[in-house]
Amino acid sequence: MKVKEIRDLLEAQILCGEDQLENDLQGVFASDFMSDILAFTDSQQILVTGMINPQVVRTAEMVDMKCIIFVRGKMPTEEIISLAEESGMIVLASRFLMYSACGILYSREEDPKPCRV
């Protein structure tokens, strides 16, 4: 799914990565627990979270995520946005709850994958 489609579906604001609107991203992982992101992500490129701290960007970078979507109306600080920009990530902010955002994205997913344990 293209970043611009994700932006439109989630009524999101693009905070960085506007030059990547045409990029295709696949796979979504949602969590506020950084340990879960490290343990369970497997080729997902989009992180949905309500956790607002620089560790989110560092964790996403470690597992090669391309996009972070902050939900629940949370707005990351300039420090977080700058860190994401340095890593070449796309950052969006949406007012949707995590559950709703995931449902919207899941309904558009072409090949949903089960969690690897």
What would the pLDDT profile of 52-107 be if each residue is shown by its tens digit?
Answer: 999 999 999 999 999 999 999 999 999 999 999 999 999 999 999 999 999 999 88
| pTM of the complete model beyond 0.75 | yes
DSSP-derived 3-state class of residue 37: helix
* Residue 42's pLDDT band (cuts 50, 70, 90): confident
**Most confident by average pLDDT, 12-16, 30-34, 102-106:** 12-16
User: What does CATH list as the number for 3-108?
Assistant: 3.40.1390.20
Half-sphere exposure of 54 (CA within 13 A, CB side): 8
CA dist 102 → 31, 46, 77, 79 (Å):
11, 11, 23, 26
Q: What is the pLDDT of residue 100?
A: 95
Domain assignments of the chain as residue spans, ordered by start: 3-108
